[in-house]
Chains A and B, each alone.
Chain A
Amino acid sequence: MISAKNIKRWFWWHRWSSLICTLFLLMLCLTGLPLIFGEEIDGWLNPTHYAELPKDSPKADLDVLTGVAKARYPKELVNSVFVDDDEPQVLINMAPTWDPRDPMRHSLQFDSRTGKLLNDEPPFAQQPATFIDTMLELHRGLFLDLGGELFLGVIGVVFVISILSGIVLYGPFMKKLDFGTVRRERSRRLKWLDLHNLLGIVTAAWLLVVGLTGVINELSTPLFGLWQMTDVKAMLDKYKGAPLPGQQDLNSVQAAYHTAAQALPDMVVTSVVYPGNPFGSPYHYVLWAKGNQAFSSRLFSPVLVDARSGKLVSVVKMPFYLRALEVSRPLHFGDYGGTPLKIIWVIFDVIAIVVLISGVYLWWVRRKLYESYFSKISDGAEASLQ
């Protein structure tokens, strides 16, 4: 049994943690709604029309595709190649430099079967942001990059505190009430208090999971940075001083793709990071492969292929903290169980919005209650003085 004093303390924590995070949480819930169906919405707004070909059509040679791209932009570097496993497309990313913020970074879209150039896109920096991109940027970091991501991560921790304190308070609140009681007749405040408690306690587990995985997702930049500074650095240290391969020295990218695919027969290789790219290795092609089952498709394995010889160097084992990050993504996005799960996500999200707004309402009327209570006391005191 918690004492009255403890209830007051928990109530203080619940009120202030909730007040601090409510405005941001409302933004997160609202921008999160379209993001649940982000892929579908993007597909409707910017449809690509692919040629109708049988499913098992052979794939175009990546060397041919990169050859076409390099012929168009002979002075630029191929940064990476994305081989989509969902749609029949290959994206070749190019830029004049390796700088990940190069304003001239751009992409060429090919049909992965016919090898036809579908779209030679203008630089990313000159393309208007799509609706979903804008929602994602706001949702992930308030348009403020790493600073915004870390800030929202802290807000996520405060949100978790508010959920936990809310669960603790549910006990004393429900002392004399049956589960699900909503006192409609008495007052608007009581009705919304009961609804706030009901909606909050039933969705508590979902809210905690989405809140905690959201916090982990916000840490993705520092976690990948940590990995690069430790494991990746250790892997590359033995090559120190070796001459760097230039883009003209590279072995075939198609051969590298094939080597990686053979090394991991149960996985799909979806991207090739070129030697020299700061997100890869100076001496290797880094190929990212993922599993082909619902869950395993969330787990990525990088494969290193020697840039000059084309030989398989290693299949890298990901550290536990990046595995945790990979598992956190689907649990936060709700995109791992088909359309019905996405619809369920939307309903939970809407309930969360109701819990947030009713919480603010309850704080507001209680505040007024206190005010009128205190003003009555002081009025009374004044009256007795006169």
Chain B
Amino acid sequence: MNNNPFLRRWGMPLLMAVLSLSGLLSALLGDHPGQVLSWIALSVPLVVVAWYAFRES
């Protein structure tokens, strides 16, 4: 991702955690717009998993 060794290793995991947690909370706090936001935020980690797990090397 970049040359900072910490961010290189932890950047993506942190991003996934932030997206997951904001997705979990947004459906809790908001009604309809919050729900749509949560579907999007929580789908990103799933798409990332699918992308790396099934990609041809």
**In chain B, what residue has the closest Cβ to A351?**
B49
The main secondary structure of chain A at its interface with chain B is helix
- The complex places the Cα of A362 from the Cα of B29 at a distance, in Å, of 40
A202 with B24: in contact, given A185-B57, A294-B30 (CB under 8 Å)? no
Which residues in B have their C-beta under 8 angstroms from that of A203?
20, 45, 49
Give the contacting residue for B35; candidates A171, A185, A337; CB below 8 A.
Answer: A337
Over the window 1-32 of chain B, the binary record of Cβ atoms lying under 8 Å from chain A Cβ atoms (1 yes, 0 no) is: 10000001111110011001100100111110
Which residues in A have their C-beta under 8 angstroms from that of B20?
203, 205-206, 209
Stretch among A64-72, A118-126, A193-201, A314-322 lining the B interface: A193-201
**In chain A, what residue has the closest Cβ to B45?**
A202
Which residues in B have their C-beta under 8 angstroms from that of A348?
42, 46
- The complex places the Cα of A202 from the Cα of B20 at a distance, in Å, of 9
Give the contacting residue for A184; candidates B13, B27, B48, B57; CB below 8 A.
Answer: B57
CB distance from A184 to the nearest CB of B (A): 6
* B49 and A199 contact, CB distance less than 8 A: yes
* A330 and B39 contact, CB distance less than 8 A: no
Which residues in A have their C-beta under 8 angstroms from that of B45?
202-203, 206
Q: How large is the interface on B (under 10, 10 to 19, 20 to 34, 35 or more residues)?
A: 20 to 34
- How many A-B contacts are there with CB distance less than 8 Å? 91
- The complex places the Cα of A180 from the Cα of B50 at a distance, in Å, of 10
CB distance from B50 to the nearest CB of A (A): 9
Within 8 A of B (CB), among A141-199: 167, 170-171, 174-175, 178-180, 182, 184-185, 195, 198-199
A202 with B49: in contact, given A179-B1, A209-B21, A344-B42 (CB under 8 Å)? yes
Over the window 314-340 of chain A, the binary record of Cβ atoms lying under 8 Å from chain B Cβ atoms (1 yes, 0 no) is: 000000000000010011000011101
* A195 and B53 contact, CB distance less than 8 A: yes
- The complex places the Cα of A95 from the Cα of B29 at a distance, in Å, of 40
* B13 and A202 contact, CB distance less than 8 A: yes
* B28 and A198 contact, CB distance less than 8 A: no
* A205 and B17 contact, CB distance less than 8 A: yes
CB distance from B33 to the nearest CB of A (A): 11
* B39 and A206 contact, CB distance less than 8 A: no
Give the contacting residue for B52; candidates A198, A327, A336; CB below 8 A.
Answer: A198
* B13 and A294 contact, CB distance less than 8 A: no
Within 8 A of B (CB), among A256-310: 293-295
* B28 and A202 contact, CB distance less than 8 A: no
Which residues in A have their C-beta under 8 angstroms from that of B49?
198-199, 202-203, 351
Give the contacting residue for A199; candidates B17, B31, B53; CB below 8 A.
Answer: B53
- The complex places the Cα of A209 from the Cα of B43 at a distance, in Å, of 16
Which residues in B have their C-beta under 8 angstroms from that of A338?
35, 39
User: Interface centre among A205, A344, A347, by most B CB within 10 Å?
Assistant: A205
State whether the Cβ of A223 lies closer than 8 Å to any Cβ in chain B: no
State whether the Cβ of A377 lies closer than 8 Å to any Cβ in chain B: no
Which residues in A have their C-beta under 8 angstroms from that of B57?
182, 184-185
State whether the Cβ of A341 lies closer than 8 Å to any Cβ in chain B: yes
CB distance from A7 to the nearest CB of B (A): 15
**In chain A, what residue has the closest Cβ to B10?**
A171
Instruction: List 9 A-B pairs, minimum CB-CB distance, nearest first.
Output: A180-B52, A337-B27, A205-B20, A205-B17, A179-B12, A340-B39, A337-B35, A201-B13, A202-B45
- A residues near B, CB below 8 A? 167, 170-171, 174-175, 178-180, 182, 184-185, 195, 198-199, 201-206, 209, 293-295, 327, 330-331, 336-338, 340-341, 344, 347-348, 351
- Assuming A337-B39, A340-B39, what are 17 further A-B pairs, CB within 8 angstroms? A171-B9, A179-B11, A182-B57, A185-B57, A199-B49, A202-B48, A203-B45, A203-B49, A206-B45, A209-B21, A337-B27, A337-B35, A340-B35, A341-B27, A344-B42, A348-B46, A351-B49
Q: Can you spell out 15 A-B residue pairs with CB atoms less than 8 angstroms apart? A: A170-B13, A174-B9, A179-B12, A182-B53, A185-B57, A205-B20, A205-B21, A206-B20, A206-B45, A294-B28, A294-B30, A331-B28, A336-B28, A337-B35, A340-B35
